[in-house]
Amino acid sequence: MTGLGIVPLALLAAVLLMGCGSSRRGEPFVGPLALESRDIQRGQTSFMKHCHQCHPGGEAGLGPALTNKPLPMFLVRAQVRYGLGAMPTFTREDLIDEDLDDLLDYLVALKRHV
């Protein structure tokens, strides 16, 4: 299968898995998230800039909750890069690869925290 054929399959898998789980709205956090590394701190900054308005605190808002999905990070990366449905596309000009890596590290830390 060519590289171009993998992207639609990955996006389809992401959409199907997004339907799993319930929306997390307002459940209490375990306390403040410890931003253990500079990468996670930069990831939080990128998240606040690009994601927070639709996924406030990783919870459901305009977009679905991000912290209750068993999605592998390569699918999240594809979703960010190619968008789908109401999810906009974030090109490398919008969000450079290093910032996207940091954002994904932040999402992993946030997911472990809730």
- pLDDT classification of 87: cutoffs 50, 70, 90: very high
Tokens read off for 57: 């605190």
pLDDT tens-digit readout, 45-86: 999 999 999 999 888 999 999 888 888 999 999 999 999 888
pLDDT of amino acid 57? 87
Domain of 46, CATH number, reads 1.10.760.10
Range of the domain at 81: 3-24+33-113
Question: Has residue 23 got a pLDDT over 50?
Answer: no
What is the pTM (predicted TM-score) of this model?
A: 0.70
Q: Do the Cβ atoms of 80 and 90 come closer than 8 Å? A: yes
Compute CA distances 66 → 7, 58, 95, whole Å: 20, 5, 18
Question: Considering its fold, how many domains does the chain have in total?
Answer: 1
Residue 68's identity, in one-letter code, is N
Quickly count: other Cβ atoms within 10 Å of residue 63's Cβ. 16
